[in-house]
Amino acid sequence: MDAIRTRAHQDLNDEPARAARLAGVDTLGVDEHIWKPSARHRDRAVTSIVDLTRDQDGRIHARLLDVTLGRSGPVYADWIRARTREFVDGITHASLDPFRGYANAIRTELPDDTVTVLDAFHVVKLASTAMDEVRRRVQQATLGRRGHKKDPLYRIRRLLSTARENLTDRGRARLEAALQAGDPGLEVTVAWHAYQELRSMFHASTPAAGRATAKRVLDSFYRCPIPEIARLGRTLRSWRAEVLAYFDTGGISNGGTEAINLIIEKTRRLAHGFRNFGNYRIRILLAADGTRPWRRQRRGSG
């Protein structure tokens, strides 16, 4: 740990190193994670801030910029406020999950022309969750109980979330047979089509086609007679600008932030947990600084 503290002072704490780490950042990602698993600890949630800036080839080399105690808008806002004016003015894009606290911090602390992008994975996850809620509700209404392994809708619970274009002929036949047997009101069927349409907007052939599909979703889902899909539609409409921004920014997402979270989790597991937040912070900052020292150089390079 003494060696790690020495390295952390060289790379993180002295003024030139701190300025170099924040130089050139134009895209921020933000997410939360749990650093103490026990629910007894009040400070178990932390906010991680990640650099998602693209290089000249359009690739993202995500790296952890900082981590701070707490999961809230004020926590993120305080971190941004503590940075230099030069750093804040350089931020042009910000990606986030659908958490209004972080969105408020971006709106109040970053420049007015900063483009906020809602993460595509979490948008699809919202639709998948809504579809599964419909399936479980219909299951309860038709059977009077939770699903068993031989019940039609329970047997296709995984198949429902499969991309339509990835379904085999056998899978499609299974899906149609189960829906006919267990979905008399066609609510699950409608929810499945809604889910497939939403996820297709992120797999469109062009950004313009994806944006057109997204507008259809935003303008129709909230009027759906199925309550779970209508609620999903209202949620998406409240994030309309952030959803559509995905198609105007070359597909900026929070994927790099999730990749950093995997490195953080691996570091925590290897240490068998941490009790001291200061030690935890410098460990994960060094582990997720964007370098890959274990990668071999290609022959003839360097």
The residue among 87, 95, 26 whose CA lies nearest residue 56 is 26
Q: Both 59 and 151 in a single domain?
A: no
Q: Over 90: is that where the pLDDT of 42 sits?
A: no
The per-residue pLDDT for range 273-295, each reduced to its tens digit, is: 888 898 899 899 988 987 655 45
Q: Please report the pLDDT score of residue 61 as a whole number.
A: 86
Q: Both 187 and 78 in a single domain?
A: no
Categorize the per-residue pLDDT at 298 as very low, low, confident or very high, splitting at 50, 70 and 90. Answer: low
Q: Please report the pLDDT score of residue 175 as a whole number.
A: 97
DSSP string, 189-229: HHHHHHHHHHHHGGG-SSHHHHHHHHHHHHHHGGG-SSHHH
Q: Both 168 and 272 in a single domain?
A: no
| Mean pLDDT, residues 20-30 | 91
User: In Å, what is the CA distance from 85 to each residue of 89, 90, 217?
Assistant: 6, 9, 39
The per-residue pLDDT for range 169-206, each reduced to its tens digit, is: 999 999 999 999 999 999 999 999 999 999 999 999 99
Q: Both 238 and 283 in a single domain?
A: no
| Mean pLDDT, residues 225-245 | 97
The total number of residues shown for the chain amounts to 302
Q: What is the dihedral of CA 173, 174, 180, 181, to 10 degrees?
A: 150
Q: Over 70: is that where the pLDDT of 14 sits?
A: no
How crowded is residue 144: how many other Cβ atoms within 10 Å of its Cβ?
7
DSSP 72: S
Q: Please report the pLDDT score of residue 294 as a whole number.
A: 45
Q: Please report the pLDDT score of residue 7 as a whole number.
A: 78
- The structure tokens listed for 204 are 């469109």
* Residue 81, C-beta contacts closer than 8 angstroms, at least 6 positions apart: 109
Q: Both 205 and 95 in a single domain?
A: no
Within a domain: 157: yes
Q: Over 90: is that where the pLDDT of 40 sits?
A: no
Q: Both 176 and 229 in a single domain?
A: yes
Residues paired with residue 96 on neighbouring β-strands, in sequence order: 118
Q: Structural domain tally of the chain? A: 2
Cβ contact 115:92 at 8 Å: yes
Within a domain: 103: yes
What average pLDDT does the structure give for the chain? 91
Residue 84: CATH number of its domain: 3.30.420
Q: Please report the pLDDT score of residue 291 as a whole number.
A: 67
Within a domain: 298: no
Q: Both 170 and 148 in a single domain?
A: yes
Within a domain: 70: yes
Within a domain: 294: no
Within a domain: 202: yes
Q: Both 126 and 233 in a single domain?
A: yes
Q: Both 233 and 278 in a single domain?
A: no
Q: Over 80: is that where the pLDDT of 11 sits?
A: no
Domain that holds residue 160: 120-248
The percentage of residues in the chain with a pLDDT greater than 90, rounded to a whole number, is 76
Q: Over 90: is that where the pLDDT of 39 sits?
A: no
State the Cα angle at 169 between 167 and 174, rounded to 5°.
Answer: 80
Within a domain: 134: yes
Within a domain: 302: no
Cβ contact 178:155 at 8 Å: yes
Report the alpha-carbon distance of residue 133 to residue 267 in Å, rounded.
Answer: 35
Determine the longest span between alpha carbons in the chain, in angstroms. Answer: 68
The residue among 74, 60, 40 whose CA lies nearest residue 258 is 60
Q: Please report the pLDDT score of residue 274 as a whole number.
A: 87
Q: What is the dihedral of CA 59, 65, 69, 74, to 10 degrees?
A: -80
Q: Both 49 and 158 in a single domain?
A: no
pTM over 0.85: yes
Q: Over 60: is that where the pLDDT of 148 sits?
A: yes
Q: Both 140 and 175 in a single domain?
A: yes
The per-residue pLDDT for range 96-147, each reduced to its tens digit, is: 999 999 999 999 999 999 999 999 999 999 999 999 999 999 999 999 999 8
Q: Both 39 and 83 in a single domain?
A: yes
Most confident of 7-16, 159-168, 272-281: 159-168
